[in-house]
Structure 1
Amino acid sequence: MLKVIKNRFEQGHRTTKYPEEKINLYKRFRGLPTVHSDCDPAVVQQCAEACPQEAIDSASCRIDLGKCVFCGLCETLSEGKFACFSQNFEMGTAARDDLLFSGSLPELAEHSKTHFKKLFGRSLQLRQISAGGCNACEADTNVLNTPFFDLSRFGIQFVASPRHADGIHVTGPVSKNMRQAVLTTWEAVPDPKVVIASGACAISGGPFYGSDDIVGDLNSLIPVDLYIPGCPPHPLTTLHALLSFFK
């Protein structure tokens, strides 16, 4: 016991003070991009043709963050003239169209004040559904339960049963084999309830975009309230989205 106490003093308090204090991520992290609409159309077209996710609309000079896997190819090809990725991890949105990004995102908290803050402000229980993904999104979501993030201090927890939940947090492209399971779980959550599409797969199909074996767009199956882009979303992207939307 004395060794445990001694170790505790040596280690100190490791839980992050975010959101009270800003966190600076490693320089190689790719977050919200800066899109230069005045870029040479030929360069934008080159980026659009090379994009593995078909996430770039060269006509409107926009990047679909719901499809983007943040590979950085467009930044490399254009040498930053079309797009360059920042370290801004705050990318959650309340509407799918808001992810058609050309320069800025709407204030997530303003939408939430009208719809969800009064309902779930003190406590939010979520049922996680892994709907055929690679486990990257699930792994980065699990990180939120570590002492560094300590998600439960905000009153947000993941629960075992949908009947104990306020909503579902879906990751993966929703394979056809998981389609009914997602619907059944969603129906088991009592009203009022929320639906969160986390990661490029749940939002658009991600790397599996266009496959006949997936649903690909969770919103086409059930109404989505919160979108968290990324491949996978950084734990801080998820944390910011949850805190902005519900707290």
Structure 2
Amino acid sequence: MVTSNLSRRITLLGLIALTGAFAPAAANAEPVDKPAKASPASADKKEKKLEVATFGNGCFWCTEAVFEELKGVESAVSGYSGGRVPNPTYEQVCTGATGHAEVIQVTYDPEAISFPELLEVFWMTHDPTTLNQQGPDHGTQYRSAVFYHNDEQRKEAEYYKQRLDESGAFNAPIVTEITEFKKFYPAEDYHQQYFEANPRQPYCRAVVKPKVIKFRKAFKDKLKVNDKSHDEEE
């Protein structure tokens, strides 16, 4: 069932309250809501009209594991974007020489989850204040980035980035790159659904799993499946 436009609007109050689970957040930040937007035309549509969003927020093993669990997300594919070299390999991207970022290409139903809601998850589940770094991962391939597919996505991303900075949600300025989407190259098959296929791999246990657990607690109402308690067991 489609939620109301009001309930689907992102609010910085909710985001600020939750950022501390993933990155340093400042106290006493004031909530700022986006001005009300006209509701999309409702119609008796029999077919879903899917849209695409592309985010770079660190290792795609982590980000894919997060976005694929959201209601309204049809698929989350690991890959590379924002670079100069066509059809790059993982080994090439890891050198930093191709200019690509590790990204997730998210195909979603905007009637079930909005782009601002995806932005909320994006900014909450990584530290957007560290340049070319996420935790133990260093390099331009791990940069924080929104690759917008249209002007509306650009405006939404720029708006919330500005509001988050102004609110003091983070203890340092946001360095997220907001740039036009050009090309997406899917990563090698073994990278897809990596956490699901390799839950006991050391990096997954040490980095991916804690992030996914925090995400599930913070966004319980947005998950396709709410009961994930069994996954939190060692």
TM-score (ref. length: structure 2): 0.30
Q: Looking at both structures, which has the greater relative contact order when contacts are Cα pairs under 8 Å and sequence separation is at least 6?
A: 2
Q: Which has the larger radius of gyration?
A: 1
